């Protein structure tokens, strides 16, 4: 039993309930507090996906910041593939595709993002890194800019605490992968997050064609609290000989109507990401049911991370 953690969980749930009541009364009028420029930190798959959808659907200019020129180059290559795929499908013309791309301004200069009205951080799940970024945003961004994280597991309250003086403007917009395809976005408030911040986050993701769901600041939130333990249990089934990988995946696809088997999904997400989230769930809840599979830990140690490393439960 860990009373301190449970007390914090109850506080966060109560806070979100209060914010929900505030939202139902004071939801923003369409067009009010509209985002004129978006900032995205991180040009990886998630950050690039967020920038792409904002430029394509919301039609807002996007400043895309990454400390690595190589990451930006790789991200822009991914963007070109997305655009050409849509052109080939006849979704829009080459001229329209060029217009979407023109709305995204890539840069390695961090302070270029400070003029944005809404900033979304999408860097790796490293608490210290995210806290460092939000500390900089708190002092450099405009006083009314929404500061959002795309974290899938780290406490929003902890991240907000690093944004000294701007804690109330910190929120989580957790996009699902792949961003251009998945409609759902989790909106998570920390204890410090104001009702106005929550409202503006909800309204903005709607302009991106997304469907928001509000979650408490609890380990794993909604999506990963359910999804990652499901994947972990599938790995345990493989590890203990309950079934072969193909049989496990086929059963869930053909017997439970899942679009993808759990082991293939783990490869797609990244086994290192799955392990990181399981570790957060295990550490923050203290519940043994969230203990990561031994096989999962070994595969990450071996560098078998799934699609990104060309080898995981399957070869790519």
Catalytic residues: 152, 174, 186, 224
Contact 223, 186 (CB under 8 A): yes
Burial of residue 112 (CB within 10 Å: 0-12, 13-18, 19+) is middle
């Amino acid at each position: 039993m860990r009373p301190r953690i449970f007390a914090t969980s109850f506080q966060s749930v109560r806070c979100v309930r209060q914010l929900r009541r505030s939202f139902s009364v004071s939801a923003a009028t369409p067009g009010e507090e509209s985002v004129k420029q978006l900032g995205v930190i991180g040009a990886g798959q998630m950050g690039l996906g967020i920038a792409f959808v904002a430029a394509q659907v919301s039609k807002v200019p996007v400043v895309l910041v990454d400390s690595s020129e190589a990451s930006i180059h790789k991200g822009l290559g991914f963007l070109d593939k997305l655009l050409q795929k849509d052109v080939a499908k006849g979704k829009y013309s080459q001229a329209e595709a060029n217009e979407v791309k023109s709305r995204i301004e890539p840069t390695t200069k961090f302070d270029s993002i400070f003029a944005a009205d809404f900033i979304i951080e999408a860097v790796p799940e490293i608490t210290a890194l995210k806290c460092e970024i939000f500390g900089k945003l708190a002092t450099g961004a405009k006083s009314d800019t929404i500061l959002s994280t795309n974290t899938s597991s780290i406490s929003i309250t902890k991240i907000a605490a690093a944004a000294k003086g701007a804690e109330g403007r910190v929120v989580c917009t957790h996009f699902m992968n792949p961003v251009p395809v998945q409609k759902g976005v989790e909106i998570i408030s920390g204890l410090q997050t104001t009702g106005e911040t929550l409202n503006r986050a909800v309204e903005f993701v709607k302009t991106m064609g997304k469907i928001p769901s509000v979650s408490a600041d609890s380990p794993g939130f909604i999506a990963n609290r359910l999804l990652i333990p499901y994947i972990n249990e599938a790995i345990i089934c493989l590890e203990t000989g309950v079934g072969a990988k193909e049989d496990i995946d086929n059963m869930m696809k053909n017997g439970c109507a899942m679009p993808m088997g759990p082991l293939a999904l783990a490869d797609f997400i990244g086994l290192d990401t799955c392990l990181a989230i399981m570790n957060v769930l295990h550490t923050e809840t203290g519940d043994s049911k969230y203990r990561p599979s031994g096989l999962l830990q070994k595969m990450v140690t071996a560098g078998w991370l799934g699609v990104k490393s060309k080898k995981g439960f399957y070869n790519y």
